[in-house]
Amino acid sequence: MITTPIKRRWFGTDGVRGRVGEAPITPDVVLRLGFAVAAELADHVPAGVRPRVLIGKDTRISGYMLESALQAGFCAAGVDVLLVGPMPTPAVAYLARALRLQAGVMISASHNPYDDNGIKFFNSTGTKLPDAWELAIEARMEQPMVTRLSRDLGKVRRLTDAAGRYIEFCKSTFPVDLDLKGLRIALDCANGACYHVAPPVLHELGADVHSTAVSPDGFNINAKCGATSPDSIRAFTLAEKADVGIAIDGDGDRLLMCDASGQTYDGDQLLYAIARDRHLRGVLGGGVVGTLMTNYALERAFANDGIPFVRAKVGDRYVLEGMVEQDWMLGGENSGHIICRDRHTTGDAIIAALQVLAVLRARGVTLAEWLAPLQLLPQVLVNVRTAPGQALERHPQVLAEAARIQAVLAGRGRVLLRASGTEPLVRVMVEGEDHGEVQGLADALADVVRALGKAA
């Protein structure tokens, strides 16, 4: 299987992202970005209506700078701005929809280190912008900025009760006939945007919550903590003698969980936990959408259970597009983005964790017991650096080698070739039942790509 990303100048697979101080994460580019988004919004609202947007951010030190640049761009174009400060990405999506705004903007680089940052956009329905919008915004960024007259400039105010609104929303997604009383939870908030909202959600549902990485300083977001650091939540769960461990990434849309023994569970496994329960209760609402990176074992488990399954391109917005197209309620990625469309419009780590906890409470099982039918297959990913524009993932020799490997696996695994959307890389992924075999096959295919790159 081969995928090639859409070519854009600024937008990647999840908004605009990069190293702070390097384009596009500089005040001048972000100012133009805000103005361009405002101009695009103006074409999608009725005449005479002043657009309103909400801006949230995670805990990176650069958030102050980018927030100021964005609001300046919006105000210059006559758009009013609501500021909420540090707030999870899914909270921004929820508030944009709940407050009937024209857009929500999140300043975050998600799971990346503190010296990266980015901008994500949500429309009035709380979903990420489609490709067509992003391409239109990029085109507008090439046009001159024309500041409105003083009487038409946008205004800025702070929404002081944003955290409370979001906490209540999260709690409302948990079954009213269940609680978390008696459950000891180890919670890792990645020193990110969930540090002040995730603990109250779990505590107010009755859990005994023990939190770590809840002291952001602008520099420690995702630093050896959060959903991208399995060792951290494993050690913390064991140290606290907790029943369950929950790790969230820096902007609150990725989830990793851990059981009392220290075993960690990724997005594929947690997606199966929710889907299996809903299927058995007859409330799944169709099937499940995964991505090209979803473990083959999950596809096989769904087939055994009679659950329809389709794959989308990598990226939670493509998962959501697939869910809408199929009119299904559940989808996600192995990275921990899980979308419960009957609960929210985007991936939400807190809400996904609550859905898993609801399964455990209602059925009286542990994560290990409930996930026993799913045994993930070994998956090897090799990144091969190439020259820009080579497109080696479509080279006939690469395709021939990929076909040979797929024939060797003969239904026991699969091969994926994917061009990176952010770097000059070809991502070679092979998965199957035997790790040694999979490693050898992945290396063989990567060697073909690498040799062609050197020969070009």
In this structure, the number of other CB atoms found within 10 A of the CB of residue 144 comes to 6
Residues designated catalytic: 110
Same domain, 188 and 295: no
Do 89 and 117 share a domain, yes or no?
A: yes
Please give the chain's pLDDT, 456 residues, in tens.
Answer: 444 444 567 887 678 999 999 999 999 999 999 999 999 888 888 877 889 999 999 999 999 999 999 999 999 999 999 999 999 999 999 999 999 999 999 999 999 999 999 999 999 999 888 788 888 899 999 999 999 999 999 999 999 999 999 999 999 999 999 999 999 999 999 999 999 999 999 999 999 999 999 999 999 999 999 999 999 999 999 999 999 999 999 999 999 999 999 999 999 999 999 999 999 999 998 999 999 999 999 999 999 999 999 999 988 889 999 999 999 999 999 999 999 999 999 999 999 999 999 999 999 999 999 999 999 999 999 999 988 778 889 999 999 999 999 999 988 899 999 887 667 889 999 999 999 999 999 999 999 999 998 876
Instruction: Kindly state whether residues 6 and 155 are assigned to the same domain.
Output: yes
Which residue range is the domain that position 427 belongs to? 379-455
436 and 414 both lie in a single domain: yes
Domain termination residue (choose one: 142, 160, 178): 160
Q: What is the pLDDT of residue 390?
A: 81
Co-location of 354 and 275 in the same domain:
yes
Please tell me whether residues 36 and 133 are part of one structural domain: yes
Q: Exposed, middle or buried: residue 87 (CB in 10 Å: 0-12, 13-18, 19+)?
A: buried
40 and 71 co-located in one domain: yes
Residue at a domain's end among 370, 399, 420: 370
Nearest Cα to 70, choosing from 115, 37, 41?
37
* DSSP-assigned letter for residue 378: P
Element (H, E) at 82: strand 80-86
pTM, 2 dp: 0.92
- Same-domain status, 74 and 190: no
Can you tell me the distance from the alpha carbon of 63 to that of 200, in angstroms, rounded to the nearest whole number? 24
Q: What CATH number is associated with residue 283?
A: 3.40.120.10
**Contact call for residues 162 and 91 (beta carbons, < 8 A):** yes
Co-location of 9 and 136 in the same domain: yes
Number of domains making up the chain: 4
Question: Which of 246, 261, 276 is the endpoint of a domain?
Answer: 261
* Sequence-separated (6 or more) residues with CB below 8 Å from residue 191: 59, 213, 214, 215, 216, 217, 220, 221, 222, 223, 225, 226, 250
CATH number, domain with residue 445? 3.30.310.50
| 8 A C-beta contact, residue 233 and residue 341 | no
Do 69 and 98 share a structural domain? yes
Q: Are residues 26 and 140 in the same domain?
A: yes
116 and 20 belong to one structural domain: yes
* Beta strands 309-312; 103-107: pairing state: unpaired
Contact partners, residue 62, CB within 8 Å, separation at least 6: 20, 25, 114, 115, 117
